Amino acid sequence: MEIQIYLFLAVSGAYLIKSLTGFGNTLIINSLLSIVKENRFITPVDLLLGLPANIYMAWKDREAIDVKIVAPLSIMVLAGNIPGILLLNMGGDKQLKTILGAVLVLLAIEMYVRKPRLSEAQGSKVNGPAIYMVGIISGVLMGLFGIGALLAAFIGRQTGSRSNYRGNLCFVFVIDNLFRLVMYCINGLINLKILAVSLSLLPAVAIGMFFGRKIDSKISDKAVKNAVIALLFISGIVYIVKNRVGII
């Protein structure tokens, strides 16, 4: 009973953050649930919780979705998912999370110091080679850990307003989630216990997103961008410290 309450509160907080930034739920859930559960349990549960949340957020901001961004990213993410899922079946890779942590810290610093351009409202020009590389790497990370922070950082550079950012990000997440759902089932990573836990935590997702939307309507785009940068930085530090030092 105490563990269930702990899981409920952790998931509520995770999805409050997701409703504001478009991601971050996996960081919080991984950090808090890893105390009591293993990665093979956490990642499938987070997938089952994240799918309906991503569908809702992508639909809400559907008019802001840019096919030139989401189409190539979705294809590359799916390609990267396959080796990521195979690695999940064999166990986690701390070295990979450490490298991801360093990348996220650098991205957060770069986003913070980068001066806005006149075209900032429309976002950056899509870089062909970068979009394929980021898509593949993000697919591996999401297949293995469910981590979408690298993808979030990249899309944040390509889009302007928060609706544009969240719509594109969550659309790619939906494609990833649907593919991983099928692959996880095929590989035996989702069972009745995981389904039962996930269903019991869906109200926590709804509560977190409800309060997140209430807060979201009262804050500016700049505040949301700063929250994204902070979350990227904190994510990076957590991954580095947890996987190199092992104290979190």
Tokens representing residue 128 in the block: 């062909």
Q: Which of 105, 233, 224 is nearest to 165 (CA)?
A: 224
In degrees, to the nearest 5, what angle opens at C-alpha 161 toward C-alphas 207 and 50?
Answer: 35
pLDDT one-digit tens code per residue, 53-74: 999 999 998 988 988 888 988 9
The whole-angstrom separation of Cα 157 and Cα 225 is: 11
Q: Confidence class of residue 126 from pLDDT cuts 50, 70 and 90?
A: low
Question: What is the amino acid identity at position 143?
Answer: G
Q: Confidence class of residue 230 from pLDDT cuts 50, 70 and 90?
A: confident
CB-based contacts of 194: which residues, under 8 Å, 6+ apart? 41, 44, 45, 48
8 A C-beta contact, residue 20 and residue 224: yes
Give me the helices (H) in 114-220, please: 128-144, 149-158, 162-186, 192-216
The whole-angstrom separation of Cα 178 and Cα 183 is: 9
The average pLDDT across 215-220 equals: 82
CB-based contacts of 129: which residues, under 8 Å, 6+ apart? none
pLDDT, residue 57, reads: 93
pLDDT, residue 53, reads: 95
pLDDT, residue 93, reads: 59
Supply the pTM of this predicted model.
Answer: 0.80
| Sign of the torsion angle spanned by Cα atoms 144, 50, 29, 155 | positive
CB-based contacts of 195: which residues, under 8 Å, 6+ apart? 48
pLDDT, residue 77, reads: 92
Confidence check: pLDDT of 129 > 90: no
